[in-house]
Structure 1
Amino acid sequence: MSDHVCTSAARSRPLSGARAWVLLLIAALSATALGCRSAASTPPPSSPPEQPTESDTRPAEPHDADDMVSVPAGTFLMGTPEDELSLIVELCRQINPAPTGCNRERLIAHHRNETPQREVYVSGFSIGRNEVTNAEYERCVSEGGCTARDFDRCVFFAGREHVHGGTLDEVQARDDHPVVCVSWEQAAAYCQHAGGALPTEAQWEKAARGVDGRVFPWGNDWNPLGANWAEGEHTGSVDGYVTTSPVGSFPAGASPYGALDMVGNVWEWVADRYAEDAYAQGAASDPQGPETGTGRVMRGGGYAAQPLAQRTAKRVPRDPPEAYVNIGFRCARPAQ
């Protein structure tokens, strides 16, 4: 393959507005499919990254404020502009091998819960630099602040099916990987034990994208080495991981405030109840989500999610009593 083909696939002209990130993402994905390096990323390793040894693993103390990043008070752009919804359809048709799966009405309806984009004020707070790890959660269990995970009730993947009950593989069970198979209630209890709370949707989204409405934590151009995501057939051929990765393994994907794995690795529980129109009806200052509703929100994509689901505005409801093999969490605290 010639360097010209790779360069052409990854190169982009200066663009502005909603269409820019879609065209940049199409170009980057095309380059990835061709076996090319993304122009916005560092060269990929010649082989999958080595897993850290036990001596390299230094889980943060669950009560350690130094493992948090500060997000100052102020406004930010929250949500997706209405005119980007049609571009999501365009993107799907560019990257989906089965265009029949890119039904315009279905896709627009599916992502309308991200609209409208609006300016929202959020008071200052701090949020975990990393997702909570297995070691941190088990420490909370030993301290009596958390309940043990019930893997018989956890939802696992069996091909395209979801089944209750399973066992974490050897990689996912490592101390420095994000904790999974925790329900919303268990995640909330951990954060309370650690002196904080689950972040609200507004806190999570501001920590992930900053103030300028960027599509991904690092900017508007998809970077295949910026997150642990579902490239190809979940082979780890690009990011080096088939399932979860040690927290903080993708510094190129850091948010404007230094938070890591805000997209990719695992989805994350947040505090808010879910409502389809929460962004249209929410308060303009420190929104807390709807007062009623049975579902809770998860954010941030995960190792089994494609780039479209790794956008900082992506929001998905889940039933809070359920625990999933691809959902974890991080904690937040008000500014001191």
Structure 2
Amino acid sequence: MACLARSRALALGSLIPALACYSTPDSPSQGTADNDSTPSTGPSDGGTPSDASNVTAPESGATDPADSSASMTVGSSGFGSEGGTPADDSSTTLADSSSTTPPDTDDPSDDSSSTGPAGCDPLDDTCGDGLLCDGTTCIPTPAGTVAVPGGAFMMGCNEDTDDACGADELPYHEVTLSSFAIDQTEVTRGAWQDCVEADACDAAPAYDTAGNACNFFDWDYPAACMNWAQAAQFCSWRGGALPTEAQWEKAARGTDERIYPWGDAAATCDLANSSECGDPYQTVEVGSKPAGGSPYGALDMSGNVFEWVADWYSASYYEGSPDEDPSGPDDGTRRLIRSSGPNYGAARSSWRGVDFEVPTPASSHVNVGLRCAYAPG
């Protein structure tokens, strides 16, 4: 099935962004929209938030997120839900996707081929490049995603090599994850619009809950201005889920204990879109900083937009978190975001993003987007 057509002209601020086809989405509405708002800008150190306390947000209609824990559609490749299960955060009403199926070519799990030996171990994945273990055999990853093999990595901040560790990034500890796939790029406007047109996602509000105008750019720019439950709903519609914090961090840094996705060297504008690179509220097309890719080929994991992940936040979670497939605390008051935005400095892969302007799951921000994860099997 072809990608949904979007030839009509779109009013600014009327949509939430995203990726329509994992291959090459059409770009029906080119050109750059002028952002006529002047949001507060934050510091550029990637660790201290801007103060938005003096901004009065227009009524956005966002309330607490709803339960989006319904079972997810599994494609023919065997990929299904991954990450934490969306919890009942409260009462935000989401578009009902129970009777909606995304277009076949837009479903990243639509890949019927499988290959590799039987009897593989998803916690010690030796399937090879582009293949993941589903517990019985090696299968290819969905289109538009990268494979993150199962196995151990070091999570958190290493005080011996990184002098910017936050208290909530400690202790540095080993975590073992089952194999999974993750979107290579942040979800784009085009993909989110496909979900809106399928009556499975909500369109963007005029303003985020911090008071910033949700003016967006081209179809290949990252989606933003959704709250946590809306982000989880999108990933469910795609046949996946928001990644857990541990999944996101492994996808960003790999297994060699690097500080940033590209290594230990300080960020430059060739590696990440952050506050040092121009307009502090100007995102760029997803995937436009390939030199800053992670060891697995995931892009924009240190800038462009922050990204919702599945977990509740606890500053002390690492002190007693499970060693295998951790999924975060059972409850909390805020959901985590990872990466960084154009109004912050480039993010270290261990930075937990807790100080940014989304204090509750019902919060939204023009610089907070998402990517999805997918489990084999």
Question: Which residue does the alignment assign to 1:194?
Answer: 238
Question: Which residue does the alignment assign to 2:314?
Answer: 275
Question: Which residue does the alignment assign to 1:160?
Answer: none
Question: Which residue does the alignment assign to 1:262?
Answer: 301
1:164 aligned partner, one-letter code: G
Query: In 1, distance between residues paired with 2:294 and 2:374?
Result: 18
Contact 1:201 1:271 in 2 (8 A): yes
Contact 1:128 1:259 in 2 (8 A): yes
CA deviations over 1:269-320 (Å, ceiling 9, x no partner): 000000001112210000000001121000001211114xx10000023311
- Secondary structure of the equivalent of 2:310? strand
Question: Which residue does the alignment assign to 2:9?
Answer: none
1:76 aligned partner, one-letter code: F
Question: Which residue does the alignment assign to 2:340?
Answer: 301
Contact 2:306 2:339 in 1 (8 A): yes
Residues 1:285 and 2:340 are matched in the alignment: no
Unaligned residue ranges in structure 1 (runs of 5+) = 1-52, 89-107, 156-162
CA gap 1:62/1:330 in 2 versus in 1, 3 angstroms: farther
Residues 1:227 and 2:272 are matched in the alignment: yes
Return the match for 1:213 from 257, 272, 278. 257
CA gap 1:297/1:62 in 2 versus in 1, 3 angstroms: farther
- Secondary structure of the equivalent of 1:164? coil
Query: In 2, distance between residues paired with 1:125 and 1:286?
Result: 11
Q: Structure 2 length as normaliser, TM-score?
A: 0.60
CA deviations over 1:84-114 (Å, ceiling 9, x no partner): 67x22xxxxxxxxxxxxxxxxxxx7xx1101
Residues 1:316 and 2:359 are matched in the alignment: no
Query: In 1, distance between residues paired with 2:337 and 2:248?
Result: 10
- Secondary structure of the equivalent of 1:70? strand
Q: Could you tell me the percent identity over the aligned residues?
A: 41
CA gap 1:183/1:266 in 2 versus in 1, 3 angstroms: same
Query: Size of the alignment, in residue pairs?
Result: 242
Tell me the CA shift for residue 81 of structure 1.
2.4
Query: In 1, distance between residues paired with 2:286 and 2:302?
Result: 12
Q: How does 1:111-260 map to 2 (within 5 A)?
A: 111-152=166-207, 154-155=208-209, 163-168=210-215, 172-224=216-268, 225-231=270-276, 235=278, 243-260=282-299
Tell me the CA shift for residue 199 of structure 1.
0.1
Query: In 1, distance between residues paired with 2:284 and 2:105?
Result: 19
2:211 aligned partner, one-letter code: H
Contact 1:151 1:181 in 2 (8 A): no
Q: Structure 1 length as normaliser, TM-score?
A: 0.68
CA gap 1:298/1:62 in 2 versus in 1, 3 angstroms: farther
Query: In 1, distance between residues paired with 2:363 and 2:161?
Result: 32
- Secondary structure of the equivalent of 1:204? helix
Query: In 1, distance between residues paired with 2:193 and 2:211?
Result: 22
Tell me the CA shift for residue 54 of structure 1.
4.4
Query: In 2, distance between residues paired with 1:324 and 1:114?
Result: 24
Query: In 2, distance between residues paired with 1:176 and 1:125?
Result: 25
CA deviations over 1:161-206 (Å, ceiling 9, x no partner): xx425241xxx32110000101001000000000000000000000
Contact 2:28 2:219 in 1 (8 A): no
Tell me the CA shift for residue 242 of structure 1.
5.9
CA deviations over 1:111-130 (Å, ceiling 9, x no partner): 11011111100000000001
Question: Which residue does the alignment assign to 2:146?
Answer: 69
Question: Which residue does the alignment assign to 2:13?
Answer: none
Query: In 2, distance between residues paired with 1:141 and 1:316?
Result: 28
Q: Which runs of 4+ in 1 moved over 6 A?
A: none
Tell me the CA shift for residue 61 of structure 1.
5.8
Tell me the CA shift for residue 71 of structure 1.
0.4
Larger relative contact order, structure 1 or 2 (CA cutoff 8 Å, min sep 6): 2
Query: In 2, distance between residues paired with 1:289 and 1:175?
Result: 33
Query: In 1, distance between residues paired with 2:364 and 2:157?
Result: 28
- Secondary structure of the equivalent of 2:264? coil
Contact 1:215 1:311 in 2 (8 A): yes
Unaligned residue ranges in structure 2 (runs of 5+) = 1-25, 31-103, 109-141
Question: Which residue does the alignment assign to 2:367?
Answer: 326
- Secondary structure of the equivalent of 1:330? coil
Query: In 1, distance between residues paired with 2:27 and 2:237?
Result: 26
1:235 aligned partner, one-letter code: G
Query: In 2, distance between residues paired with 1:165 and 1:315?
Result: 23
The structure whose residues are more often helix, as a share, is 1
Contact 1:120 1:284 in 2 (8 A): yes
Q: Note the aligned Cα RMSD (angstroms).
A: 2.4
